[in-house]
Chains A and B, each alone.
Chain A
């Protein structure tokens, strides 16, 4: 079964609002936590990642936070735009990638 739980499964936001996706993991050995965006008909695209020795990382409108003690990490998208609409996957890795089930994000104008 999946070692990564991802919530919510769907998320609808108005353009300009923020979107937050949360993931929990179970393997204490995990040390790398990437987030992928997948558009229809394409492979997953890495949008941001964080290592276990860092608590937060930001890249323009995207930020990721990691709480190793609680074993959860989150993706924050601010000032959402229609082109942010896609399926987002969190993953954890200690060698291979274990993915969450995905969050369908819909940004309405």
Chain B
């Protein structure tokens, strides 16, 4: 069975640009969450979606947005990139009704 898949695996962007990161959850999982992990720190919660509706938002600026599609895949969008947005962006999926989150390998975003 495929786990949580994220694309791309690595990305380099310039300050001010926009980026879209993609996530496909485990088959049958209806909830997708996004996390930002800065080097040397624990992951920080950005968004949670369940059945295509936003169920939670972390303390991130409005430049960050996300959505979930009918097939439960998800996109994370970041506008007006800053150097400080450089991080590993992780997607996690779960069944939704029960805890138990499976993470993907992440997208390494570097902003230059």
Give chain A's interface residues, CB within 8 Å of chain B. 2, 4, 6, 32, 34, 36, 41-46, 49, 89, 91, 93, 95-102
Contacts and interface: CB of A to CB of B under 8 A. Distances in A.
A34 B99 CA distance: 9
A44 B48 contact: no
B42 A102 contact: yes
Interface size class of B (residues with CB under 8 A): 20 to 34
Contact of B100 (A4, A46, A89): A46
A84 B24 CA distance: 29
Chain A binding surface SS class: strand
Contacts of A102: 40-42
B25 interface: no
Interface of B: 4, 33, 35, 40-45, 48, 55-56, 58, 90, 92, 99-106
Contacts, number: 55
A24 to B, nearest CB: 14
B43 A99 contact: yes
Given A89-B42, A102-B42, A49 B48 contact: no
A84 B103 CA distance: 19
A49 B41 contact: no
A93 B90 contact: no
